Amino acid sequence: MTGKRFDLTSLRGLATSAGRGRYAVAVDAVVALLLMFLSLGRAFASHSAILLVLTVGLTVPLALRRIAPFPVFCVVAGSAFVQWLTVQGGLPSDLAVLLALHTVAVHCRRAQTWLAYAVCELGALLAALSWPDLANRRFENGPVISPTDAAFDIVKVFLLFSGTVTAALVLGFNVRARRGRLANLEQRALDLERQRDQQAALAVAEERSRIAREMHDIVTHNLSVMVALADGAVYANPHSPDRATAAMRQSAETGRQALTDMRRFLGVLRADEPEALRHPQPGIGQLEALVRQVRAAGLPTGLSVSGAMESVSPGAQLTVYRLVQESLTNTLKHAVGVSGARVTVRVDGAAMTLEVTDDGHGTAPSDSGSHGQSQGHGLIGMRERAAAFGGGLTAGPGPGGRGWRVSATFDLAEPAPEAAAPEPAPQPDTAELEPA
C-alpha cells in the first residue's frame, strides 16, 4: 500500500511538473515576443537587415531559456557581442542577456554560472567603453572631454551595468536557494508520509499479533479443558452417570465462559461496544478460578500465592495469568501419567517469581533446543511476555527428569516497556509448548 501510494504521488508530481513546464515555456515565449517588438521599431526605421537579425537572435532563444539555459545564454551573448561590433548603442532586446544570465544562475552548475557572469561583466565593460553619450559628450564652452573625466564617466557607466548584471545573478541564486528549500520540504513531507504509512502498517501487524496471541490463550485453554471433561464424561458414563453429567455440565460452563471471554475481547475492537472497555483483564486474582477449572478437567492442581500482590501492575498480573494458563493447558494436552500440578506465585520486594510444575512424563519434542526446551512460537511468546517486565523464563524437565517445570522471574522495579498496552512484542502466533 505504501509503495503504491508513493508511486501515485510521484506520478502526480510528474504531471504537475510537466504542466508547469509548458506554462513556463509559454510565459518565456510571450516575454521574448515583447522584447522583440520593442526593438523592431529601430530595425525597421534604420532599414538595417543586420539589426533585424540581431534582434531576432537576442529575443527568440529566450523562449527556450528554461529548457536549455546555458546554450540559450551562449546564443544571446554571441548576438550581443555581434551587436557591439556592428551597431552603435544599445537595444531594448539587450535585456535578454540579463534574463539569460538569471536563468543560468537558477538552473545551471556553479561553474557555468560564474562563466556566464564573467562574460556579462566583460560585456558591461565593452558597452561602457563604447557608450554613445560618452563618445559625443562636449563641455559647454570648451574642448572635448578630458581623459580623466572620460575615464570617470566610463567607470560610472560600467558600475551601473555591472550592478544590473550582479543583481540578475543574485536574484537567480535566491530563486535557486528557495526552490532547493521547497524541494527539501517536499521530500521531507514524502519521507514523513512513507514513515507514517510504515508505522501504521507495523501497528496493524502488532495489533493482529496481539489479537492472535490472546485468542490462542483463550481458545486453546478452554477447548483443552472441554476436551478433557468430555473424555472424562465418556469414560465415567457407563458406571457413574452422575459424574458424567457433572463433567458435561462443567464442559458447557467452560464453553460459555470461553464465549464470554471472546466477546469481551473482540468487543474492545468494535467502536459500537464501548461497554467492552470496562471489562477488566484477568490477573493473579483470577488464578483460583483458573485452577478450579483445571481441577474440574481432571488435573489436581495446587495454587500458592504469597507476597504483596497490590504492588504488581495490571500488565504484570495479566502476563502471570497467561503464563499459568499456557503452562496448565500444555500439561492437560501433552503430559503423560501426570497425577498433579502446582502453581506458585511469590512477590519478594521488587521481584516476583512464578513456577508451574507437574509430575508427568512424556516424549521430548523433536525441535528441542538447549535444556530440552521447545523452540516453537509458544516458548518464544512466553519468554517475550516475561522479558517485557525485565525478567526471563525457563522451561524444561523437572529435577531428575521427572515432570515439567516452567519458571519465570519479573523485575517489578523497572517500568514495563509497554505500559499502555501490557502485551509483549508482536509474534505471528503462539503454538503449544509440549513438555518433555
Looking up cell 548576438, which residue turns up?
79
Does the pLDDT of residue 196 top 80, yes or no? yes
Read off the C-alpha cell for 55. Answer: 534582434
Question: Alpha-carbon distance 93 to 60, whole Å?
Answer: 10
- First-to-last C-alpha distance (Å) of the chain: 44
Q: Can you read off the three cell numbers belonging to residue 60?
A: 527568440
Instruction: Please provide the average confidence, as pLDDT, over all residues in the chain.
Output: 75
The 10s digit of each residue's pLDDT in 393-435 is 888 888 777 788 899 988 877 554 443 344 443 343 333 333 3
User: Alpha-carbon distance 240 to 302, whole Å?
Assistant: 26
Model confidence over 205-243: pLDDT tens digits?
Answer: 776 776 766 676 667 777 777 777 787 778 777 778 877
Query: What pLDDT, in 10s, does the model give residues 304-316?
Result: 998 888 888 888 8
Distance CA 300, CA 343 (A): 11
Residue 28 has pLDDT above 70, yes or no: yes
Place 268 in a pLDDT band, splitting at 50, 70 and 90.
low
Q: Where are the alpha helices (DSSP H) in 237-286?
A: 241-267
Q: What is the per-residue pLDDT across 144-180, written as a single tens digit (0 to 9) for each?
A: 556 677 677 788 888 888 899 999 999 999 999 998 8
> Angle at Cα 255 formed by Cα 250 and Cα 256, nearest 5°?
95
pLDDT at 387: 82
DSSP 376: S
| pLDDT given for residue 229 in this prediction | 75
The alpha carbon dihedral of 373, 379, 382, 388 has a sign of: positive
pLDDT digits (tens, 9 = 90+) for 65-93: 888 899 999 998 888 888 888 876 667 77
Q: What is the pLDDT of residue 378?
A: 65
Give tens-digit pLDDT for 36-72. 877 776 666 666 677 788 888 888 888 888 888 999 9
Confidence of residue 389 (pLDDT cuts 50, 70, 90): confident
Q: What is the mean pLDDT of residues 320-342?
A: 83
